Structure 1
Amino acid sequence: MDPLMGAGPLRFGMNPDEVASALDGAVAHVSQGLGDGMGWGRYTDWGVTAVYGEDNSLVAVAVDAMDGPLVRLGNIGLTARAPSEVRVELQKLALREGASVRVNWSGDPEVEAWGISMGAAQEQGLTPEGYVQRLDTMITDALLVGPELAKNPFGSEPVSRWHDVRDEPPHPGTWSVRAEQERQRWDWTPLESVGPLRFGMKPLEVAAALSEQPTTRHGRFPFGAPWEGLGQWILEEDRFDHVGVSAHYASGFSWPPALGAVTIHGRTGPQVEFAGIQLIGRTVSAVDTALTQHVEERDLSLVIGCGGDLGVDGLNMFVRASRAGDVLVSEARFCQEQWEDHG
């Protein structure tokens, strides 16, 4: 990495054709607005995403944790490592060179002087049979930017078109996990309810059942007919940090929000069991193994969600992964029958 200038064969200021040539003729298999000014292209074979500014010039490069190249800053390996190790080494280097290290939106280190914003993703491996499986560890990825974006990499317009995190609550960089004995115990009736929450509840009923007001709310403005412009804001999710759950609502322009799914947070949420299997706050691999054994012994089927989340066919429940520093703990999303989960 050459701070604020580029990384590997990629130099900030290149146009999409020059980037493709530098990557040996690579094709951006996934892209948006590529070649039309602000846009981005993901070069799958290289494990990198190139982000372009208004004049079609390269302003940022995102390096994947699993598939991307190994990027170094001096003697520090930035990618595909344990996040805490990279954080310590960056802080030591910054101290020696008089640079400032701050915490970015995901709780990872960000250094304006070098144009680095670190992140992390779940590590994946292979089963003995050769199938991809999720592991219990996090490994680093990185966003590398030029000088015009270094002050606020993820808050800048070109990057936000690729990955918009502006509505995400800023993370302090610590991942405390609630002890098992401190967690509530909730029952679950598949497709109907979890704990005190019944599918179909209105947002006010959800808050009353939890005796807590939402910590954050997320929604969207739908586009109507061309002459209508932006429509009324539609609530999609309430997050309740004290209880440790998120409520997801089925809603639209013509119908009010109704509870369609509930996510139990892995680090802080209540404990829920299925067939004697504790679903929350455990290593993800342990829950995956227990679910797989359960379905095999009963000739049932597993389903896999968009993010590789496992569930039992017919229950519309998915075991998800929640970051806890360098590792992950299990959480779960419980859905009504009509809910189509998209991660």
Structure 2
Amino acid sequence: MWPDPWAVVDESDRAQWDYAPLERVGPLRFGMSSQEATAAMEACGYTSNAPSKVGEFGPFEQLCTRFRAASAPPYRVAVAAYYVGTMGLTCITVDALAGPQVTFDGIRLIGRPPSELSAELTAYLEKTDRDIEITTEGDVGSQQLGMNPRAQRAGDVLLTRLVFGRPNDWANTMYDCIPADEWRVH
């Protein structure tokens, strides 16, 4: 019998991470090399494939490392880390179905109905006098916080998947940080 591709890791079984905007997501710090990121994730019980080339941006090569819980099947990617040339880690995605729970200022970001996260994030952005932005897919996101929520299917349900990025020399905005293959995940 085939495993359920829509199975969602129970909240109590998810690793618990926090987010420091434009600095780090759990053990992953923006600017890390792929070797540093792999070592940090292995220390947290994750395994990975070797970094693979996913694109080029002018003279910069873009690589991706996909991490999964050591006990998870190979197709259950929990976190993807994207690196650009010598700038290191520039984008981190956390899967809605299998990723760790990431919190920011008490807000649970991963594996929630998108409308719930949008409402909570909107209230936070208003309270902290930050810009409220609507992403290209209609969700509430924030350039200032370096986060772009996306909806991901879990069977007949949509749950939140987060893309975290930090603009740098090659990307002027958060959206420029997001690799093309990330836009294909639904």
Partner SS, residue 241 of structure 1? strand
Look up the match of 1:68: none
> After superposition, where does 1:20-35 map in structure 2 within 5 Å?
none
Going from structure 1 to structure 2, the CA distance change for 1:196 and 1:293 (only over 3 Å counts) comes to same
Give the distance between the partners of 2:33 and 2:55, measured in 1 at CA.
Answer: 19
Look up the match of 2:53: 219
Aligned counterpart for 2:150 among listed residues 309, 317, 320: 320
Look up the match of 1:291: 121
Look up the match of 2:63: 236
1:335 alignment partner AA = G
Per the normalisation by structure 2, the TM-score is 0.74
Greater share of helix: 2
Look up the match of 1:271: 101
Give the distance between the partners of 1:259 and 1:223, measured in 2 at CA.
Answer: 15
Deviations 1:289-311 (A, max 9, x none): 11112223343211233333422
Give the distance between the partners of 2:146 and 2:135, measured in 1 at CA.
Answer: 10
Query: Which structure is larger by alpha-carbon Rg, 1 or 2?
Result: 1
Deviation for aligned residue 1:205: 1.0
Give the distance between the partners of 1:301 and 1:194, measured in 2 at CA.
Answer: 21
Aligned counterpart for 2:138 among listed residues 308, 313, 324: 308
CA contact (8 A) 1:236 1:257 kept: no
Give the distance between the partners of 2:123 and 2:10, measured in 1 at CA.
Answer: 26
Deviation for aligned residue 1:279: 0.5
CA contact (8 A) 1:302 1:313 kept: no
Give the distance between the partners of 2:50 and 2:155, measured in 1 at CA.
Answer: 22
Deviation for aligned residue 1:235: 4.1
Going from structure 1 to structure 2, the CA distance change for 1:308 and 1:175 (only over 3 Å counts) comes to same
RMSD value over aligned CA atoms? 2.9
> After superposition, where does 1:34-183 map in structure 2 within 5 Å?
174-183=5-14
Deviation for aligned residue 1:218: 4.0
Deviation for aligned residue 1:184: 0.9
Higher relative contact order (CA 8 A, sep 6+): 2
Look up the match of 2:35: 204
Going from structure 1 to structure 2, the CA distance change for 1:237 and 1:257 (only over 3 Å counts) comes to farther
Deviations 1:97-139 (A, max 9, x none): xxxxxxxxxxxxxxxxxxxxxxxxxxxxxxxxxxxxxxxxxxx
1:194 alignment partner AA = V
CA contact (8 A) 1:305 1:341 kept: no
Partner SS, residue 219 of structure 1? strand
Alignment of 1:258 onto 2:88: yes
Partner SS, residue 177 of structure 2? coil
What is the aligned residue count?
Answer: 162
Identity, in percent, stands at 39
Deviations 1:78-97 (A, max 9, x none): xxxxxxxxxxxxxxxxxxxx
Look up the match of 1:112: none
Deviations 1:232-265 (A, max 9, x none): x9442211122711101122xxxx4610111111
2:67 alignment partner AA = F
Alignment of 1:193 onto 2:43: no
Alignment of 1:245 onto 2:79: yes
